[in-house]
Amino acid sequence: MIIEIITAGIILLLLFYSYFLSGILRGLKTLIEESSGVKDTSLPGDYISIIIPFRNESQNILETLSSLEKQDYSKDKFEVIFVNDFSDDDSLELLCKAEKSLNIKIISLPEDYSKYQHKKRAIRFGIENAMGSIIVTTDADCIHNTKWLRTLMGQFDDETGFVSGPVEFIEESTLFNRMQKLEFAGLVLTGAGLIGIKGPIICNAANIAYRKKVFDEVSGFTYKHSLSSGDDELLMQKIRKETNYKIKFCMNKEAVVRTSSNRNLNQFYQQRKRWASKGLFYSNHYLILKLIMIFLFYLSFPLQLVLGIFYNPLFLISMLLCFSIKAMMEYIILKTGANNLFNKSILKPFIPAEVLHIPYILIAGISGALGDYIWKERKIKR
């Protein structure tokens, strides 16, 4: 009887995950169709504030500054606010000494300003000092195309409150980097597809924009003060839930922001723990149930392996069937994204990445839910 229940559960989880992936693919196709149509190329008349929190980014911050200085956008229409989050390297000194335009500003967090919110407090302090009615956030280790801001702003109309943009890892020669690049592209495309079917769940703060009045309308980052992250997807979900503004994804290569991948396995592990830690704080219980179902689907793989070895070899066949369906559908999603947003070369390490994807999801999910993590040389309490 127990085996029959397990078998039925595996079938149910496979059907759910297949339906979830088909929704992502449907959303991506919707975004691609919308982006290929004739559109009004006019830009919003709003003044824009780009906010960049930074901590110990001496190796990257000048390159980020340079890419923002080169934006194909009138400098009297936007400002850039770098917010120093108690850097203890020479990031602040390098930034202050660098030649920069008058629209580039540098501020530092006060010592007693919302101590335990970390990145969220830096962004909130930047917003409090911003003149723009549209807030754009990115990171101090990012490189932006010259048409990045123009392309991102082209998504705004009077009904739009939040825009998510694409992010990718800079390609390097190592297999570890290429696998990260592929996995990260999968996360970005998942977020895009879900926005395309009007069910936004994930996005990346390295490339988002929202109206300041919408931020104020939902009371900004007032939820979960103890959670250090959540300045991106939790805000997006809150805007979706509490307002009538549209959430959009910018399906355009010109809007891609590039950043470096993790240098070692520990950095990768800590980053994914941090990202996974937000899932249980979603206000929508249905979204949490979805995440649990996805996690259980991945958990079914080691369960089927054990049952196949020690009980009935048919479970090995069911495991291969689940893996084949998962791999096929995820490949189609990644190929769709590679054709329209990224480069086709990202697909090269697909097979090893697909195999490692299962233990990675299980480890990240468990550790993100239960453990503390390291971020910017800080130990963050869960």
Position 220 scores a pLDDT of: 87
pLDDT digits (tens, 9 = 90+) for 333-382: 999 988 889 988 899 999 999 999 999 999 888 877 666 555 555 555 55
How far is CA 19 from its chain centroid?
Answer: 22
Cα-Cα-Cα-Cα dihedral sign, residues 198, 200, 206, 212: positive
In angstroms, rounded to a whole number, what is the distance separating the alpha carbons of residues 215 and 124?
A: 10
Q: 283-288 — which CB contacts under 8 Å span 24+ positions?
A: 283/223, 283/234, 283/237, 283/238, 283/241, 284/237, 284/241, 287/201, 287/237
Token pair for residue 342?
């990224």
Which of 79-93, 104-118, 222-236 is predicted least confidently? 222-236
This model's pTM is above 0.95: no
Per-residue model confidence as pLDDT tens digits over 218-244:
988 766 545 555 668 889 999 999 999
Give the CA distances from residue 2 to residues 5, 318, 320, 321, in Å, rounded to whole numbers and listed in that order: 5, 17, 21, 21
- Number of Cβ within a 10 Å radius of residue 81: 23
The yes-or-no verdict on residue 318 having pLDDT over 70 is yes
- The number of C-alpha atoms within 13 Å of 110 and in the hemisphere containing its C-beta is 7
Window from 116-130, 224-238, 301-315 with minimum mean pLDDT: 224-238
